[in-house]
């Protein structure tokens, strides 16, 4: 059962399409519900007019729907070993195999425009789950000084190259709460076009904070793409929170509730101010405030 | 002539400075070698168009040598066996060597004066140096590369170098901070774009500190520091004195 995992994670997106591929149906729901707020294009014909925007977390996607779409999967442990003719890549072998697989699909399906016979009208959507975790053979999540600290960033760089030269977009989830090494997370951010973080209230002190009682977590937009232009499209609102219901995942602006109590004590005001301080972190591409202006 | 300019950004994106210098030097008639590690050619081309310069035309007439790092990396990893006479500039990625000599050779050859060249002064532009660390180059290798470039471009060819680095004291990225601090010491001019300490603002995108390192050239010289705030627009960046943004006046 795809129980929603409300844990900290960063998502990455190059382009504005979301992923629709994974190795089994359960996973497709897990990825889908997080990013359903993004517009989705679908090649296969569908009768549902609101397709792509609403998901029922308690149900699995129907097999017929999955089979009607052309998709590829990559499950590391089932992949054959590296083809001997590939040169040494100086990178975690799991990542290297994934990159080779992606490159093969891009060139075989004509997403890079190299084959004039195969005119692609669609964008290749790629979804990668839990990058950096042990599942990919990388120990960056377990240790402060990983064995190969550059594998993850090298992978992202090569992936960026593949995406830039083809008609594709990629969304990646990274279990940021497991990566202790702040330097690596900083480099990952610099190598991404868009970085969004989801922070759940479960298990944190914010769960009982009256400021957050309607929501399940916060959405942090750390970076937005600044492509082909000097400026980037920064929204006015920096404080976003999300709410997960059975059929809907919404992201809303977070605002302080009106202070209606008769006895407003100093302590409670300070609590809210403390929470509000955490809200004012700006978008990484523009500026992040270090100090909160106290009145 | 012979200047080393360091572009530095903290908590914000300083790439607008790279776009500026690229179009500035091309318009001035210099020969430019642009090592673009993080974005594609079309990205720079589209922005340069807005600033009034055509990168494609500059490339065609031999004024601009453009190294597209992403493409070069793909060619190295997925391409055919390379010819022995033409090693990839990003050869260190494959692990066969740990230094950036191939990249330096690329720069040197690109900017070497050729027959019939009438360009004014060579310029090396790098966007951005911090990426090399993410790709596995050691800080020492990066600093060596810059050193060799300075000797070759600034001293021998009397040209300029402009390099962009990211820095952030909170980042705990010691390798990066090491490189940045070392480069700061050796720079003639530092342009430091910072996000505002108070957070995001729609009308003031950041603050820029211009540090003229007069202490480098003169024994008792004092660095000259000027601070302005700026706002980035579609085709232009406006600078103004601190607190005097047009939104406030």
Cβ contact, residue pair A90, B95, below 8 Å: yes
Whole-number Cα distances in Å, A290 to A24, A176, A239, B54, B196: 43, 21, 16, 40, 9
Give the model's pLDDT for residue A3: 29
Q: Tell me the per-residue pLDDT of B114-140, one tens digit each, with 9 for 90 and over.
A: 877 788 889 999 998 999 999 989 999
CA of A35 vs chain B CAs: smallest distance (Å): 25
Contact list in A for residue B180 (CB cut-off 8 A) is: none
CA distance linking residue B200 with residue B203, whole number of Å? 9
Which residues of chain B are within 8 Å of residue A282 when distances are taken between CB atoms? 195, 199-200
Per-residue model confidence as pLDDT tens digits over B131-189: 999 998 999 999 999 999 999 999 999 999 999 999 987 878 889 999 999 999 999 99
The helix/strand count (H/E) of chain B reads as: 9, 9
Q: What is the pLDDT of residue B131?
A: 93
Please, what is the end-to-end C-alpha distance for chain B in angstroms? 39
Q: Cβ distance B245 to B231 under 8 Å?
A: yes
Which candidate from B50, B136, B201 shows the least CB-CB separation from A154?
Answer: B136
Query: Which residues from B are below 8 Å from A164, CB to CB?
Result: 40, 70
The answer to whether A85 faces chain B, any CB pair under 8 Å, is no
* Confidence class for position B7, pLDDT limits 50, 70, 90: very high
Output B220 or B29, whichever has higher pLDDT: B29
Q: What is the pLDDT, as a whole number, of residue B199?
A: 72
Any residues with CB less than 8 A from the CB of A36 and at least 6 apart, and which? Answer: A18, A52, A53, A54, A55, A249
State the Cα–Cα distance between residues B21 and A255, nearest whole angstrom. Answer: 42
pLDDT in tens, B88-114: 888 888 877 888 999 999 999 999 888
- pTM of this prediction? 0.80
Q: Chain B residue with minimal CA distance to A163?
A: B70
Angle made by CA atoms A131, A133, A136, in degrees to the nearest 5: 75
Nearest to A161 among B13, B71, B236 (CB): B71
For residue B179, what pLDDT is reported? 94
User: Given CB atoms, is A290 within the 8 Å cutoff of chain B?
Assistant: yes
pLDDT the model gives residue A80 = 60
pLDDT, greater one: B48 or A239 = B48
Packing angle between helix B139-149 and helix B174-186, nearest 10 degrees?
20
B206 pLDDT above the threshold of 70: yes
Which candidate, B66, B41, B65, B44, places its Cα nearest to that of B53?
B44
Nearest residue in chain B measured CA to CA from A91: B94
For residue B241, what pLDDT band results from cuts at 50, 70 and 90? confident
Substitution target from A190, A240, A277, A284 for chain B, most B beta carbons within 10 A: A190
Domains and CATH numbers, chain B: 3-78+86-241 (3.40.50.300)
Cα gap A172→A181, rounded to integer Å: 19
- C-alpha B145: how far from chain center: 14
Cis bond before residue B128 (omega within 30° of 0): yes
Mean pLDDT of B51-61: 92
Whether residue B192 has pLDDT greater than 90: yes
- A113 touching chain B per CB within 8 A: no
- Report pLDDT for B129: 93
Q: Maximum CA pair distance of chain A?
A: 76
**CB pair distance less than 8 Å for B199 and A289:** yes
Instruction: Note down pLDDT in tens along chain A; length 295 residues.
Output: 232 222 222 233 222 222 333 223 333 334 444 444 343 333 222 333 344 455 666 667 777 767 777 778 777 776 666 554 455 677 888 888 888 888 888 888 888 777 777 777 778 888 888 888 887 878 887 777 778 888 899 999 999 999 998 888 888 888 888 887 888 888 988 898 888 888 888 777 666 776 777 788 888 888 888 888 888 777 666 777 777 776 667 777 776 666 555 544 444 444 444 444 444 333 333 333 333 443 4
């Amino acid at each position: 059962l795809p129980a929603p995992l409300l844990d900290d994670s960063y998502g990455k997106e190059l382009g504005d399409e979301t992923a629709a591929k994974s190795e089994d149906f359960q996973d497709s729901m897990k990825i889908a519900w997080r990013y359903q707020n993004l517009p989705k294009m679908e090649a296969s014909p569908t009768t549902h007019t609101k397709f792509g925007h609403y998901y029922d977390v308690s149900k699995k996607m129907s097999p017929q729907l999955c089979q009607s779409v052309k998709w590829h999967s990559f499950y590391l442990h089932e992949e054959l070993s590296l083809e001997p003719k590939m040169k040494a890549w100086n990178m975690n072998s799991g990542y290297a195999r994934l990159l080779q697989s992606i490159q093969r699909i891009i060139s075989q399906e004509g997403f890079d425009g190299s084959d004039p016979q195969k005119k692609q009208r669609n964008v290749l959507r790629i979804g990668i789950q839990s990058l950096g975790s042990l599942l990919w053979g990388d120990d960056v999540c377990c240790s402060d000084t990983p064995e190969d600290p550059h594998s993850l960033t090298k992978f992202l760089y090569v992936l960026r190259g593949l995406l830039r030269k083809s008609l594709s977009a990629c969304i990646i989830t990274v279990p940021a709460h497991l990566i202790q090494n702040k330097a690596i997370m900083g480099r990952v951010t610099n190598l991404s076009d868009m970085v969004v973080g989801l922070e759940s209230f479960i298990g944190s002190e914010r769960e009982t904070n009256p400021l957050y009682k309607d929501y399940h977590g916060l959405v942090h937009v750390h970076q937005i793409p600044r492509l082909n232009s000097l400026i980037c499209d920064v929204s006015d609102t920096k404080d976003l929170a999300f709410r997960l219901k059975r059929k809907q995942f919404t992201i809303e602006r977070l605002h302080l509730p009106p202070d209606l109590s008769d006895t407003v004590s100093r302590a409670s005001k300070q609590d809210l101010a403390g929470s509000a301080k955490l809200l004012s972190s700006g978008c990484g591409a523009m500026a992040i405030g270090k100090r909160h202006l106290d009145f | 002539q012979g200047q080393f300019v360091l572009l530095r950004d903290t908590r914000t994106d300083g790439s607008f400075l790279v776009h500026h210098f690229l179009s500035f030097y091309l318009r001035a008639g210099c020969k430019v070698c642009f090592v673009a590690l993080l974005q594609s050619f079309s990205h720079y081309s589209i922005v340069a168009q807005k600033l009034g310069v055509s990168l494609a035309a500059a490339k065609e007439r031999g004024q601009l040598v453009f190294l597209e790092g992403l493409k070069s990396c793909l060619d190295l990893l997925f391409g055919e066996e390379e010819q022995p006479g033409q090693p990839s500039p990003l050869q260190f990625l494959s692990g066969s060597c740990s230094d950036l000599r191939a990249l330096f050779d690329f720069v040197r050859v690109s900017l070497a004066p050729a027959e019939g060249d009438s360009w004014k002064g060579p310029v090396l532009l790098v966007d951005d140096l911090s990426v090399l660390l993410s790709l596995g180059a050691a800080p020492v290798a990066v600093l060596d590369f810059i050193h060799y470039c300075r000797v070759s471009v600034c001293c021998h060819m009397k040209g300029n170098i402009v390099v962009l680095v990211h820095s952030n004291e909170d980042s705990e990225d010691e390798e990066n901070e090491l490189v940045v601090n070392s480069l700061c010491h050796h720079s003639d001019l530092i342009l430091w774009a910072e996000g505002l300490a108070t957070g995001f603002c729609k009308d003031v995108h950041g603050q820029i500190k211009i540090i003229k390192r007069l202490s480098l050239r003169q024994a008792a010289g004092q660095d000259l520091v000027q601070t302005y705030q700026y706002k980035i627009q579609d085709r232009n960046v406006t600078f103004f004195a601190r607190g005097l943004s047009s939104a406030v006046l």
